[in-house]
Amino acid sequence: MTTLNVLGQVDLGQTLLGVEPKAVSFEVSRGEAELEWDDLEIKTESLNSKVVKIGEDRWQIRLTPPKGEVIGTQREEVEITLLNSQNKTNPINLVSPVKISVSWKTTSAHFALAPAGVYLNGDKPVRVKVKGLQGRPVQVSQIEIPKGAPVQARSVNESGQTWLEFQSKPPIFPTAGKPEKEATWSGKIQVRLRDGLVEEKVWVAMAKSMEKI
């Protein structure tokens, strides 16, 4: 039986880097399960949240993303649980939380990436276009690759256009019939961009597989 009627995914939209983001509201109602519970609890890691009861079995949830420090898309899994307001700590009254995926995007007034995420397969390089939005030349001042990531990266400037180029590191061949380590990897690579007046950080989301298509 459904305990809560709630969206599986919530998009908080996009905010500008360094600017206070706006809250997004959505409604949650109790499902068809016959439960004598009348309160709602929400758990998040980085989002600001507020719950307002708007009816006997209805609540409004307001979520505000954190003030962005890095350009890119972020996601977080949020837990929503229906509780008994008279006895929240009694284990008999606990329900398995409903999990929803919340996403938001931070953009910049100075830089843009296209695309902001790449997939590597095999040893062919993949490029991400770096664009300056203020008409000034863009430079890549630093690329930070997570320790142990089987990826190599560099910046390329061709005819005044700046690119980020990503490529798989040479594979580590298995020995004694053991499977290859790092066959797949996913994560984010942080890049610092500057245009002479402004320096900002961006994320490039990446997924990698050494398996042949």
What own/partner pairs with CB < 8 Å and gap ≥ 24 does 93-97 have?
93/37, 95/3, 95/35, 95/37, 96/3, 97/43
In the predicted model, residues of the chain with pLDDT beneath 70 are 1, 33-36, 85-95, 171-183, 210-213
Residue located via tokens 């931070």:
106
**CATH of region 111-209:** 2.60.40.60
Predicted local distance difference test score (pLDDT) of residue 203: 93
Residue located via tokens 């990826």:
151
Predicted local distance difference test score (pLDDT) of residue 211: 52
Are 120 and 150 within 8 A, CB to CB?
no
| Identical topology for domains 4-107 and 111-209 | yes
Domain locations in the chain? Answer: 4-107, 111-209
**CATH of region 4-107:** 2.60.40.10
The string of pLDDT tens digits covering residues 66-104 is 999 899 999 999 999 887 766 555 545 556 788 999 999
Predicted local distance difference test score (pLDDT) of residue 94: 56
Please give the order of strands across the beta sheet that includes 4-5. Answer: 4-5, 24-30, 58-64, 48-55
Are 9 and 100 within 8 A, CB to CB?
yes
pTM: 0.79
- Listed in sequence order, the DSSP H helices in 71-182 are none
